[in-house]
Amino acid sequence: FLPSSLEGWGVTTAESLDEVIDVVDVVYMLRIQRERMDAAQMPSLREYGSLFALTPERAARMQDHALLLHPGPINRGVEMVVDPSMVPGSRILQQVTNGISIRMAVLFSLLGGDATTTLSNGAES
């Protein structure tokens, strides 16, 4: 699922969460899309979980300042085995709460929005 060459991108890849869980600043979990499980390159849920699920053991290895993010919805027991509310650095609730506003702002900017646009109540943004 990655581009064939990441040279020059300034990134490092890992084959499993265990390789990096104790050194990263952010753990960004994604929902596995079960509708794509039939594709030959997708591992089984069991294999995926063994490599990438955030378990209590893996969460305990996270750095104290590390953040946990997940855009939702969460497949509990698949990518997230640990209760995310029990992870000190979890920002999932804030991420979901702010998600629509952030997407609106990005779209506004991309579509040529003006920083001094007048809001419907007459105030300037």
pLDDT, tens digit, 9 for 90 and up, residues 9-27: 888 888 889 999 999 999 9
Determine, yes or no, domain membership for 72. Answer: yes
Helix (H, G, I), strand (E, B) or coil at 68: strand
Does the pLDDT value for residue 120 go beyond 80? no
Determine, yes or no, domain membership for 5. Answer: no
- What is the model's pTM? 0.75
Q: What is the DSSP letter of 55?
A: -
Determine, yes or no, domain membership for 52. Answer: yes
Determine, yes or no, domain membership for 7. Answer: no
Q: What residue numbers bound the domain in which 89 lies?
A: 17-110
Hey, CA dihedral for 91, 96, 98, 103, is it positive or negative?
Answer: positive
- What does DSSP say about strands 67-69 and 26-28: parallel, antiparallel, or unpaired? parallel
Determine, yes or no, domain membership for 122. Answer: no
Does the pLDDT value for residue 116 go beyond 70? no
Give the number of domains in the chain. Answer: 1
Which residue in this structure is represented by tokens 């104290």? 64
Determine, yes or no, domain membership for 121. Answer: no
Determine, yes or no, domain membership for 115. Answer: no
Any idea what the CATH number is for the domain that residue 102 is in?
3.40.50.1370
